[in-house]
Structure 1
Amino acid sequence: MRIAIVTESFLPTTNGVTNSVCKVLDHLRAEGHEAMVIVPAAGSPSEYAGFPVHEVPAIAYRQFPVGLPSPHVQRLIAAFRPDVVHAASPFLLGAQAIAAAGRLGVPSVAIFQTDVAGYARRNHLGAATAFAWRMVRWIHNGAALTLVPSSASMHDLEAAGIRGLARWGRGVDLVRYHPANRVDPATTALRDRLAPDGEVVVGYVGRIAPEKQVERFAALRGLPGVRLAIVGDGPSTPAVRRALAGMPVTWLGRLGGAELAAAYASFDVFVHTGSEETFGQTLQEAFASGVPVVAPRSGGPIDLVEHGVNGFLFEPTDDAGLRAAVTLLSRDLGLRLRMGEAGRRSVLARSWHAVCGELVGHYEQTVAAAAPKTILRSS
């Protein structure tokens, strides 16, 4: 197949959208497909996995490039002659790509990954929340198929009147993130740094931004024998540092590769604090590492955390529930080990190879469904 991937985020920016796109491109190359990538201008590489990467004009917003409408998008798609257009977390650039695909008679698959409407609601933007949903509906109803990562997202999009929905989750690297990393020298050295007296390490990995609500770790203040480890950075770092002042926290900054895998393996408990996660990729990485998870009963974590089996869910605004779950796990090594093992089992079928194979199946079904319309339009 020939796939044109249009993404709102790409290297050198690192986040969930970028990571998913790179994994998809790796899979397409391994399986012999052809692809090209259109991205907002941000100093991206000229190719990835042997596929060309084309930049289009963009502006910076909150440290991220935002692609602007450009006639170059339709010209690039037309010249490539794809079987399908893949719009990753579509906003301005993705919306233009979906519209261009429609004009060219090419079916498009949109990946819902960023809760734009949730952002408007959280920031008390009032009428802007309804406007955000109108934008989401307009963008995604232009695509032949929208793939959603969780049951919560499916419910929200169905309620918003968005058609042509199907589930597609995210994969996890089961080799890089593995319980065996616990005995790796790099992990043991990090563990000695994080818990010099054998304390229980409660960890977080992710962007430190308002929607992640990392300041909620303050609910764990005063728990005996517990130390915090926070991996990541972002615009809320100064505010979160102030909120956690005086607590035993090690700030590890942004990590990747083997260093990130070692960080996960050094945790005893993984805590996710944000209640607006559309999926929860870091939860999967913690599970793959054999670490139990504590997360809000909201959004993507609902599908990933089996309460009482591989971790605990707490009510989204209940800091006391968050504290109680971490307290229980911090006091019971056997429970942590059992839940960690259950977490690993829960993601064994979610390798990136398997998940990207599902995506190609969605491409094929979308192209097949569009074939009669394409024939009529060209006749």
Structure 2
Amino acid sequence: MEPTDLRIALFSGNYNYVRDGANQALNRLVGYLLKRGAKVRIYSPVVDSPAFPATGEMVDVPSFSIPTRKEYRVPSRFEGRPREDLEAFAPNVIHVASPDIVAHRAVTWARAHGVPVVASVHTRFETYMQYYRLQWLEPVIRAILRRFYHRCDAIVAPAESTAAILRAQRMARDISLWTRGVDRDQFNPERRSMEWRRARGIGDDDLLIVFLGRVVMEKGLDIFAAAMGELGRRGVEHKVLVIGEGPARTAFARDLPDAIFTGQLTGDDLAQAVASGDVLLNPSVTEAFGNVTLEAMACGLPVVAASASGTTNLVRHGETGMLVPPKDVAAYADALEAYARDPELRARHGAAGLDYARTMDWDRINDAVLQVYLRVVGKRKRS
């Protein structure tokens, strides 16, 4: 079987209406599949003002917004146009990118029609509960996810550490890796600008600690703010740059009154801001991969991060950055203080991270998913 024989139906709860690492990876994947001659149809909510243009042909799936997170939408209905279009498209493989209502229905359709299903894991949904005081729901979420993934033919995970957790949780047996690449034309150390820093009151010798990503509680905002407070108590001079936007911005700004908030940046503006920092702090434990970590490494920044799934496959402790027990505020402060006191250590770890980022080629990475499609389709034909 050749790539040109594939007809792929991709179901995604968020393909392009909010900009994050997961849906940008999906768009890159679709671009690669189309380049290889595969036919792809995307089933996802469509909005009037998406965050960026979609790659490929989309079919609108009815959806509703989450009351507490209005920027996100939940696909709600498979029957009607989505199902009719799917049956007319006649896919020979279905890819589900989020375990929502419509994805469950799509898996049911696929099983009834003998079509194999590949699921991709982009985040650890069950870990979100701790940030909203709903820890008691974690076993329920895991049970729902286990049932969902057991009905799929294969899973692709973005990091070996994430795959190991999925195996330990008995989510699936057939798990392959679909890591993430980085656009090195966009993210690179040459983007660093001392003029950009000075225009924002950041001195050439100031240690600029960067937060990069959606400003939401599940990114570990409380730990980030607490670590900054600890640095202040120790008398470690530093400044904070928050790159991103989200519903928790007001609270985060209250906890970091002296921080510089850029809001959401894209393209060259984003790359320049990241490269103009000195160290990335990423305390999130919800990452399945950590795209922002790789982007910072591509800019030559060392990374201080939670020792959690996804990040542990990017950050080599004592080589490209420092890994810290997830909620150990003092340990985060220790790592940041070490970089503040030793610019040579900062430069050495940043250079090692840059070397690693140079190995992350998007086409090679996306080909791994293509090979999974071909394998499951071939296996289903032989059975």
Is this a same-fold pair by TM over 0.5? yes
Deviation at 1:217, TM superposition (A): 2.9
Residue in structure 2 matching 1:100, options 91, 104, 109: 109
Contact in 1 for aligned 2:197/2:203 (Cα 8 Å): no
Q: How does 1:232-243 map to 2 (within 5 A)?
A: 232-243=244-255
**Residue in 2 that maps onto 1:119:** 128
CA distance in 1, matches of 2:333, 2:74: 38
- Structure 1 pair 70–216 and aligned structure 2 pair: CA distance change class (3 A): same
**Residue in 2 that maps onto 1:361:** 371
Contact in 2 for aligned 1:194/1:201 (Cα 8 Å): no
**Residue in 1 that maps onto 2:3:** none
State the one-letter code of the partner of 2:240: L
Contact in 1 for aligned 2:131/2:217 (Cα 8 Å): no
Query: Using CA pairs below 8 Å that are at least 6 residues apart, which structure has the higher relative contact order?
Result: 2
Contact in 1 for aligned 2:46/2:60 (Cα 8 Å): yes
CA distance in 1, matches of 2:363, 2:200: 34
Q: What runs of 5+ residues in structure 1 fail to find an aligned partner?
A: 374-379
CA distance in 1, matches of 2:374, 2:288: 25
Contact in 1 for aligned 2:42/2:58 (Cα 8 Å): yes
| 3-state SS of paired residue (2:77) | coil
What's the CA shift string for 1:301-321, capped at 9, x where partnerless?
111110000000111111011
Q: How many residues align?
A: 366
RMSD of the TM alignment (CA)? 1.9
Q: TM-score scaled by structure 2?
A: 0.90
Contact in 2 for aligned 1:74/1:101 (Cα 8 Å): no
Contact in 2 for aligned 1:6/1:38 (Cα 8 Å): yes
Deviation at 1:75, TM superposition (A): 2.4
Deviation at 1:47, TM superposition (A): 8.1
- Structure 1 pair 55–337 and aligned structure 2 pair: CA distance change class (3 A): same
- Structure 1 pair 204–9 and aligned structure 2 pair: CA distance change class (3 A): same
**Residue in 2 that maps onto 1:131:** 140
- Structure 1 pair 242–196 and aligned structure 2 pair: CA distance change class (3 A): closer
Contact in 1 for aligned 2:208/2:277 (Cα 8 Å): yes
What's the CA shift string for 1:53-85, capped at 9, x where partnerless?
111110001120100132133322221122211
| 3-state SS of paired residue (2:372) | helix
CA distance in 2, matches of 1:196, 1:52: 44
What's the CA shift string for 1:97-121, capped at 9, x where partnerless?
2222222211111001122211234
Deviation at 1:122, TM superposition (A): 4.2
Deviation at 1:86, TM superposition (A): 1.2
**Residue in 1 that maps onto 2:217:** 210
**Residue in 1 that maps onto 2:33:** 28
Residue in structure 2 matching 1:11, options 16, 41, 48: 16
Identity %: 27
CA distance in 1, matches of 2:161, 2:134: 22
Q: TM-score scaled by structure 1?
A: 0.91
CA distance in 1, matches of 2:317, 2:324: 9
- 1:180 partnered with 2:190: yes
Q: What runs of 5+ residues in structure 2 fail to find an aligned partner?
A: 1-5
CA distance in 1, matches of 2:115, 2:38: 17
What's the CA shift string for 1:12-41, capped at 9, x where partnerless?
221122111111122122222211110024
Contact in 2 for aligned 1:6/1:94 (Cα 8 Å): yes
- Structure 1 pair 167–173 and aligned structure 2 pair: CA distance change class (3 A): same
State the one-letter code of the partner of 1:214: L
- 1:244 partnered with 2:280: no
- 1:228 partnered with 2:240: yes
CA distance in 1, matches of 2:16, 2:143: 29
What's the CA shift string for 1:119-170, capped at 9, x where partnerless?
2344343542221111101111111101112233223322332222222211
CA distance in 2, matches of 1:126, 1:215: 17
CA distance in 2, matches of 1:84, 1:258: 36
- 1:40 partnered with 2:73: no
Residue in structure 2 matching 1:162, options 166, 171, 181: 171
Deviation at 1:89, TM superposition (A): 2.5
